[in-house]
Chain A
Amino acid sequence: MSATKLEMRAGQSADLLLRGATVLDPAAGIDARHDVVVRDGKIAELAAPGSADAGELEVVEAEGLHAFPAFFDPHVHLRTPGQEHKEDIETGARSAAAGGFCGILAMANTEPPVSDPADIEALLADARAAAAVRVGFLATVTRAMQGEELTEMASLREAGAAGFSDDGLPIRSASIMRRALQYQRLCGGTIALHEEDPNLSGAGVMHEGAVSAALGLDGVPSISESTMIARDAAIAGYEEGRIHLQHLSAAESVEAVRAAKAAGVLITCEASPHHLCLTDEKVRSLDPHRFKMNPPLRTETDRQALIEGLRDGTIDCIATDHAPHAPEEKEVPYEQAAMGVTGLETAFAALHTHLVMPGTIELGLLVDRLSVAAGFFEVERPSLAPDSEANIALCDLSAQWTVGEDGYESRSSNSWCDGEELTGRVLMTLAGGQVAYRLRSFSMGVAS
């Protein structure tokens, strides 16, 4: 029996009342003020504001606050095993909770990579011991990410692997890609792909264009991503397999996905908050802490294409690609620095500030795209409909805060928003029916 498994720490089920919250869950068709009654870790009732009987429940005065279905991130790096100095399951899950996430999927490019069923079982046991939110684990597509031999995909699925990915690296060989899709028929499990042609990327460290020309940095051309997407979409179509494309960055890529979807390929894809909010102009600062990642930040044209893709559904979801790194890997010249930025704690606030407040996208669209990805990996989607498990992000859309001012829940501080003032903040997160996070300064009134 193969199924995605997610685990979290057992704890006390939440019993509380969110008094007068503005409840928005587009997928469940909910958009109104309610008293949200949570009993025994479940959403017991959405009552008229001020009408619910508190009884024994802890009361959270939520007048003026928004309750969303908590978010689900299909793409984070928890650096475990092997690089626990950057992040581990406990700190990564705490970071997720602080960002309003109730579930996350960890990538397998650890040291060593997660390639054996026993690795999956051990990691799920760790999550059961330490994680404040539900955590699932992908396994690599190829053994040790060498790109040469397939992992035991069916056994990995039986152990609970949430899917497969060599993220960090593309699958160079088209025949290995095809074999993986053939085995997917046997065991299921979405294959998540980091799309990049290493020959075209070469030694590139940023987007190839006017900014890289001015800075004298080696560029990664947009076509490095889009040509690989075209290849894998064709293979997936031929094998009738299901693929999920990670961190789209370029306009050409959005176009390639649009064409693949039109042709009926079973394909979903994600974009990251930093690609939706920033462009390669930021790299002029040569600050690798905030602005070096793979794929690189691209141009305003690319950013607009990603936003358009998000609007029209070509881009299905938002994923942070949360990638913690130690300071010594970032306190070096740009070309030498490690690629990746953290994003769990700021995803909602950054997108709210950069895209919702200026009117670029609707709040409902953002909320939807931040939680929809669960379904792509056979996980039940967080919902605020009565009788659902309580997975709730309670947010203050007018709260202004400076990122990093009070430190991070993550073990690493390479946030692309570090030092930025954002508007909109997660005050409290319920995950798996438990209170996973409360902002320290968010006080609560308990009913008599």
Chain B
Amino acid sequence: MKHLLSIAQLSKAEIEAILDRAESFAEVGRRDIKKVPTLRGRTVVTLFYEASTRTSASFELAAKRLSADLVSVKASGSSVDKGESLKDTVATLSAYDPAAIVLRHPYAGAAQLVAEWADASVVNAGDGKHEHPSQALLDVYTLRRRLGSLEGKRIWIVGDVLHSRVARSNLIAFKAMGAELTVCGPPALIPRGLEQLGCAVIHSLEGIGEADVIYTLRLQHERMRESFVPSLREYAAHFQINSRRLGRKQLLMHPGPVNRGVELSGEVIDSPQSLIAEQVAAGLVVRMAILYELLAAGDEEPAPALGNGRATPIGQPA
């Protein structure tokens, strides 16, 4: 696998292989020395055109834990502010011969374009409202640890699906893992034709009791401006997950950042059913596994800085 551009490119077996690799990195993470030499001498560039906390932090830490040299570029404060095109920025960064470019961009297909332009492996860390494959992988990882398997599990995705790349990638990933999917939200926030992705679409939380997992999405405040929702209060009244709506045996997820009191009430965020903190922790090991898969797995070309031309097994300390 050269790039991770879309979750749709992965089979169930490939998803499981990445998650298995993440499990072994979780084991490394429990050691005193949490760093492995796998990517020593290789460069990872993170290029973020949008604000991000957990995705950028976890990719950066993942690269460092794998001993890669890290260059992290944020669009604000860089040449992008001066009007440089994505193509030219990528050409500039490519001059440093990176092994991987991790890209977050506000528009769909940006990572795919960078993959055409650059020699590096490209990881899509979110492109517009299109895809966020590493998020989907960490969510499957988190659920697999809790449930063993997603086969036949009923997952409800609740909220602003229209503007959510997480929803799109997770629909594909959860489906690939055998889950049964229901999408729930106000009609204005559910894209027309979504049911053709293989999910049920409903506009009421009435039947939420059947869900094994409730996956909630962030509702951005600016959605009120275009009347996607008349008010946050109206939205919360009908679609907020709170202690009244969350069953004791149901699992609760959210990709973050949460709007407390809007899509989730404060008490459910901190409830035992909440996997939100586990999702964040999973982000690190899953992103290590992704970088490993792209840069060190299989019969990759030898990394130039390693004498024997082979990736160092992850069990050995750096």
Contact = CB atoms under 8 A, between A and B. Distances in A.
A219 B191 contact: yes
A333 B113 contact: yes
Interface centre among B105, B107, B226, by most chain A C-beta atoms within 10 angstroms, is B107
Interface of A: 202, 208-217, 219, 221, 286, 328, 331-336
A331 B192 contact: no
A221 B191 CA distance: 11
Contacts of B165: 216
Contacts of B193: 208-214
Nearest to B113: A333
A335 B197 CA distance: 22
B105 A216 contact: no
A217 B108 contact: yes
Interface of B: 85-87, 105, 107-110, 112-113, 127-131, 164-165, 168, 191-194, 196-197, 226
A328 B196 CA distance: 34
A332 B86 contact: yes
B197 A213 contact: yes
29 contacts: A202-B226, A208-B192, A208-B193, A212-B193, A213-B191, A213-B194, A214-B193, A214-B196, A216-B128, A216-B129, A216-B131, A216-B164, A216-B165, A216-B191, A217-B108, A217-B128, A217-B130, A219-B191, A219-B192, A221-B192, A286-B112, A331-B87, A331-B113, A332-B107, A333-B113, A333-B127, A334-B108, A335-B107, A336-B107
Contacts of B130: 215-217
B192 A286 contact: no
Contacts of A213: 191-194, 196-197
Contacts of A209: 192-193
A208 B105 CA distance: 22
B168 A214 contact: yes
Contacts of B191: 208, 212-213, 216, 219
Contacts of B86: 332-333
A52 B182 CA distance: 75
A328 B83 CA distance: 13
A328 B84 CA distance: 11
B248 to A, nearest CB: 34
Nearest to A287: B109
Nearest to B132: A216
B128 A335 contact: yes
Contact of A332 (B85, B127, B192, B197): B85
A99 B110 CA distance: 34
A221 B192 CA distance: 10
Nearest to A214: B197
Nearest to B167: A216
A215 B112 CA distance: 13
A230 B196 CA distance: 30
A335 B110 CA distance: 10
Contacts of A335: 107-108, 128
Nearest to A335: B107
Contacts of A333: 86, 105, 107-110, 113, 127-128
Contacts of A202: 226
